[in-house]
Amino acid sequence: MTRALVLVDGEHYPPVTMDALESLRARGFEIVAAVNLGGGEKLRAPLDLGSVPVVGGPSQRESLADALDSYRPEVVLDVSDAPVVDTRGRFVLASISLARGVPYVGADFRFDPPPRPPLTARPVVAVIGTGKRTGKTAMSAALARHAVARGLRPVIVAMGRGGPAEPIVTRGDLARPSVFDLIVLAERGEHAASDTYEDAVVAGVATVGARRAGAGLAGGTVYDTVARAVEIADAMSPDVIILEGSGTAIPPARAGATLLVAGPAPPGDLTVGLGPFRLLIADLVVVTMAEEPLHSSETLSALTSSVSEFAAGVSVVRTVFRPAPVGSVRGKRILFATTAPEHAGPVLIRHLEQVHGAEVVGTTHRLADRSRLSEDLRRAEGTYEVLLTELKAAAVDVAARAAVASGAEVVFADNIPVAVDGDLAAAFDAVLARAGVRG
pLDDT for 45-72, tens place per residue?
A: 688 889 999 998 889 999 999 999 999 9
Half-sphere exposure of 214 (CA within 13 A, CB side): 9
Residue 228: pLDDT band (50, 70, 90) is very high
For residue 271, what is the DSSP state?
A: T
pLDDT of residue 267: 57
Domains of the chain by start residue, with CATH: 2-111 (3.40.50.2000), 124-322+419-435 (3.40.50.300), 323-414 (3.40.50.2300)
pLDDT of residue 170: 96
Please answer whether residues 38 and 60 qualify as being in contact, where contact means their C-beta atoms are separated by less than 8 angstroms.
yes
pLDDT tens profile 374-395:
999 999 999 999 999 999 989 9
- pLDDT of 182 strictly over 70: yes
- 280-283 long-range contacts, CB within 8 A, separation 24+: 280/95, 280/96, 280/99, 280/310, 280/311, 281/99, 282/128, 282/258, 282/311, 282/314, 283/257, 283/258, 283/259, 283/314, 283/430, 283/431, 283/434
> Which amino acid type is present at position 222?
V
Kindly tell me if the per-residue pLDDT of 42 is higher than 80.
Answer: no
Instruction: Check whether 260 has a pLDDT greater than 80.
Output: yes
Q: What is the pLDDT of residue 135?
A: 93
Backbone angles phi, psi at 404, to 5 degrees: -65, -40
Residue 370 neighbours by CB under 8 Å, 6+ apart: 393, 394, 398
Q: Is the pLDDT reported for residue 270 higher than 90?
A: no
In this prediction, what percent of the chain has a pLDDT beyond 90?
Answer: 84
Q: What is the pLDDT of residues 132-150, one digit of tens each?
A: 889 999 999 999 999 999 9
pLDDT of residue 416: 96
Share of the chain above pLDDT 70, in %: 98
Q: Round to whole Å and give the CA distance between 336 and 386.
A: 9
pLDDT, mean over the chain? 94
Find the radius of gyration of the CA atoms of the chain. Answer: 25
* Rounded-to-5 percentages of helix, strand, coil across the chain: 35, 25, 40
CB atoms within 10 A of CB 231: 14
What's the confidence (pLDDT) of residue 368? 92
How far does Cα 326 stand from its chain's mean position?
25
pLDDT digits (tens, 9 = 90+) for 19-36: 999 999 999 999 999 999
The pTM score is: 0.94
CA atoms within 13 A on the CB side of 194: 31
